[in-house]
Structure 1
Amino acid sequence: MYTTKRHYRKMISLPICVLLCLGIPRSLAFQEKQTRVQGIDFNLPKDSSLHLVVKEEQASFGGGFGSGFNLTFDFEEEEEEEEVASSDVITKEQAEHELSYQTVDEDGNLKDVQVKLKHAFVDYVNSYNDKLKKAATAWDLVQRKRNRRNVFQEDTRFPIREAEAFAELPFSAVVAFNIECSGVLVGERHVLTAAHCFHDGKRFIHKTKDIRVGFRKNKTLSSYDINNNPSKAFYWIRVAKINLPAAWSMPRYSRKGAFLPVPLHDDYAIIELKRSPDDREPLGFSISSHMNAGAGTRLNMGAFDDTLDISVMMYRFCPVAYEEQSMTYMFCDAKSGASGAGVYIRQWNGYLGEFERKIVGVFVGSHVLREGSGREEIVNAALRLTPLKFAQVCFWVTGSYSDCHA
């Protein structure tokens, strides 16, 4: 189930909701703590990679779980993942594996792209991760008064129906797919979303030419359209290309030879549109760290996951409950249509002297957390934009690692 068991919600009228969602005024009850990663800029070295197309073929379509996919690790897989994540140093081979990718166009032409990196790239990422680790230790000392039990507060969802709300960020950047998934505009013609909406780990689920991305119009539907054709609330754009990590489609086996499910931490994709949407500004994206998206930090998410009326956007916020190196777990209520939604935070920009919104993750669905005692807890999971994933998304959007700054 994508919806958590926390059914109690605080109901707030729509006008107040819109003000809160837009962060106006900041002095209201939901004001964020002023998180900022000071003195840690992310600037990849220039000319640090060489991309080689190693295989080109026609994509296969069919099967698939689509937006309703539930991701669950078994014990053996979790142990193997922990062993891999135990080392803080990323090797050149690991980085090349994580940055290799697949791309499929509207005609079904599939390209497997293997990435070859220079050592300067890997050395820089390792140096940056080391700075983050040291800064996180200092951050915890400053935040000593934080009450970790506060992460279990009630969740809240607000329906956004007012046409005016879709004329500006963050709501104007949220998109719906005609395959019951959501996403967020992060570039002029690029949408960040979840890989499992398009690929089941073995093959593509939908043909690229059949996929449409919907942007909510700044208009109010009539009651007739709401009841009969709520898709009229969107203008739809065709997809030119789908990019997703190569690791998502690679078979994985346990030590005993059993096939393992596709990994949560590779469940992301960038969709390139046939044209840019009219008057739509993308949301910026940034690296997720313990400092800006650690336990207790408020996460925000908008998605078109209302199955009764797709024209209604559901906005929600909740604190981070648990965090891992590549994943964030929370109790934000969501349905399957929210798969692929951008998870963002409000962080302080000292140069501008104001808060700004940054996408730091992708909502991927429900997950069962298991403790050593055997106790299980259902949570909702978001993939974190680690430095390597940030670089990957940035490359897909800009076409160059040298343009990736955070």
Structure 2
Amino acid sequence: MDTLQLALVFLSIVALHICIADETNQDYTWHIKKIPHIVSSDIVTLKNPSYEAELQLELNGTCGIECQRTLPPPSLADLEEYLSYETVFDNGTRTMTRVNVQGWHPETEMEGNKPKHSVRRKRQIYGTDSRFSISDKQFMTNYPFSTAVKLSTGCSGILISPKHALTAAHCIHDGKDYIKNGKKLRVGLLKVRSKRGGKRRKGSKRAKEDESEDADPPKKDRKQKRKSIQKRSAAAEELTNNLSGKERGSGAGKPSFQWTRVKAIQIPKGWYRDVSHNMSLDYDYAVLELKRPHKKKYMELGISPEADKMPGSRVHFSGFDEDRPGQLVYRFCRVSEESTDLFYQYCDAEPGSSGSGIYIRLKEPNKKKWRRKIIAIYSGHQWVDVNNQQQDYNVAVRITPLKYAQICYWIHGNHASCKQG
């Protein structure tokens, strides 16, 4: 057993003792809540995006928890404006869907809005780095670590259905336009490279399909065949050049990525700075629909409870920090301050981890079984307004009942699957 395995076993034992100790004082359970309905009222076709924005992993001038406490709560009309959403398809088509909110009760959204005056620290890593690199294939490709995905833009994300991944909106959109390489957005799913080096068995169904795709119809001449081969080779070379050495050249048995194109991107209108202004940080999330479904175990959505209703007030997430290329980095830490839509936390992290799904583990109602669910999206290192000054914090966007309803609707396309959360 290597050092990493020993460390993970030790952490598991510590976490177990914390949960047992906490459970004697409080019952940590996923409480079933009735979810409001997000109903589509109108769809408008927009012009194709220009894809001219630069990727910014650190945002400036955003309104954080202290700033938002000075603002009046949004009205129902405001929320319907913020929760309206834009969809961009892989062919460049773009639409705006306006929504109506039904069955919304403001009191269900106001949990966690009590002022808390705890000392916070900045995001930079000081002293001992508390992150853990998950390099062993047995851990990296097993749940829950296997739910983490990497975006071709350099951010992270998490699988939330067989065809959807959740990430931060700023990883693909700067609040005004889509980033430059967002047109060919890809999502990388963790996999273990086989000893055959990825070669398929002769006679397999997929191999036959590939052979039939490569074979030219009898009427095609050799020039057309050469052009087809050159086109596919150029596309493969372009993808290879976009990947780092660790992703491209990992040996047999080592983790690598299976890259999948994105079919559609959905972003709430509240992320657009000219719409929500000081509230844009609350809507820093996006859902990516994959072109092909995967067979991995994904993580379910959950509604974010207050920090004191989490075991040890701790959250967990894994992402692909850019200072550790080719490695999945796991961390857990305490929530230091929270509002209705945001919370600050102590986790050490670096650019590249933005967009990671933050999860906790609670008991299922009336059962002894514990289940992990995503309760927030890690927005990353943000410069936020605090008493008219810019300070940097680790910020996460909480999944509220309204956001749960919206994301669930994006996944299922109906309200029947999104009645309770």
TM-score (norm 2): 0.74
Q: Deviations over 1:245-304 (max 9, x none)?
A: 112225159xxxxxx6782111100000001123x0111111112156679611101001
Q: Is the 8 A contact 1:105 1:208 kept in 2?
A: no
Pick the aligned partner of 1:359 from 374, 388, 411: 374
Aligned mates of 1:328, 1:366 — CA distance in 2: 12
Alpha-carbon distance change, 369 to 101 in structure 1, aligned in 2, over 3 angstroms: closer
Q: Is the 8 A contact 2:316 2:359 kept in 1?
A: yes
The offset of 1:387, in angstroms, is 1.2
Q: Is the 8 A contact 1:58 1:109 kept in 2?
A: yes
Alpha-carbon distance change, 220 to 15 in structure 1, aligned in 2, over 3 angstroms: farther
Q: Is the 8 A contact 1:71 1:367 kept in 2?
A: yes
Pick the aligned partner of 1:205 from 168, 173, 179: 179
Q: Report SS of the residue matched to 1:309.
A: coil
Specify the alignment match of 2:42 in structure 1. Answer: 52
Query: Which protein has the larger Cα radius of gyration, Structure 1 or Structure 2?
Result: 2
Specify the alignment match of 1:61 in structure 2. Answer: 51
Pick the aligned partner of 1:181 from 128, 147, 155: 155
Aligned mates of 2:181, 2:244 — CA distance in 1: 29
Alpha-carbon distance change, 220 to 332 in structure 1, aligned in 2, over 3 angstroms: farther
Aligned mates of 1:227, 1:199 — CA distance in 2: 23
Matched, 1:290 2:306: yes
Q: Deviations over 1:29-56 (max 9, x none)?
A: 687844767695223367x724310333
Q: Report SS of the residue matched to 2:262.
A: strand
Specify the alignment match of 2:4 in structure 1. Answer: 14
Aligned mates of 2:156, 2:79 — CA distance in 1: 28
Q: Is the 8 A contact 2:29 2:364 kept in 1?
A: no
Matched, 1:95 2:79: yes
Aligned-partner residue type, residue 33 of structure 2: F
Aligned mates of 1:251, 1:83 — CA distance in 2: 20
Pick the aligned partner of 2:285 from 268, 281, 286: 268
Q: Report SS of the residue matched to 1:265.
A: helix
Aligned-partner residue type, residue 110 of structure 1: R
Q: Is the 8 A contact 2:29 2:362 kept in 1?
A: no
Unaligned segments of structure 2, at least 5 residues: 196-239, 251-255
Alpha-carbon distance change, 162 to 109 in structure 1, aligned in 2, over 3 angstroms: same
Aligned mates of 1:236, 1:65 — CA distance in 2: 20
Alpha-carbon distance change, 36 to 357 in structure 1, aligned in 2, over 3 angstroms: farther
Aligned-partner residue type, residue 281 of structure 1: K
Matched, 1:394 2:378: no
Q: Report SS of the residue matched to 2:153.
A: coil
Q: Please show how residues 1-400 of structure 1 align to structure 2 within 5 Å.
A: 13-19=3-9, 23=12, 27-28=16-17, 33-34=22-23, 40-44=31-35, 49-66=39-56, 68-73=57-62, 79=67, 81-84=68-71, 86-87=72-73, 91-118=75-102, 121-122=103-104, 125-126=105-106, 128-129=108-109, 156-206=130-180, 208-219=182-193, 228-231=245-248, 233-251=256-274, 263-278=280-295, 280-290=296-306, 297-310=313-326, 312-368=327-383, 372=387, 377-400=391-414
Aligned mates of 1:30, 1:305 — CA distance in 2: 28
TM-score (norm 1): 0.76
Aligned-partner residue type, residue 189 of structure 1: K
Q: Please, which moves more after superposition, 382-391 or 300-309?
A: 300-309
Q: Is the 8 A contact 2:61 2:385 kept in 1?
A: no
Aligned length: 361
Q: Is the 8 A contact 1:155 1:331 kept in 2?
A: no
Q: Is the 8 A contact 1:293 1:320 kept in 2?
A: no
Aligned mates of 1:20, 1:360 — CA distance in 2: 25
The offset of 1:212, in angstroms, is 1.1
Q: Deviations over 1:220-244 (max 9, x none)?
A: 99xxx99934245111111000000
Aligned-partner residue type, residue 158 of structure 1: F
Aligned mates of 1:26, 1:230 — CA distance in 2: 32
Aligned mates of 1:352, 1:20 — CA distance in 2: 26
Q: Report SS of the residue matched to 1:186.
A: strand
Aligned mates of 2:66, 2:16 — CA distance in 1: 42
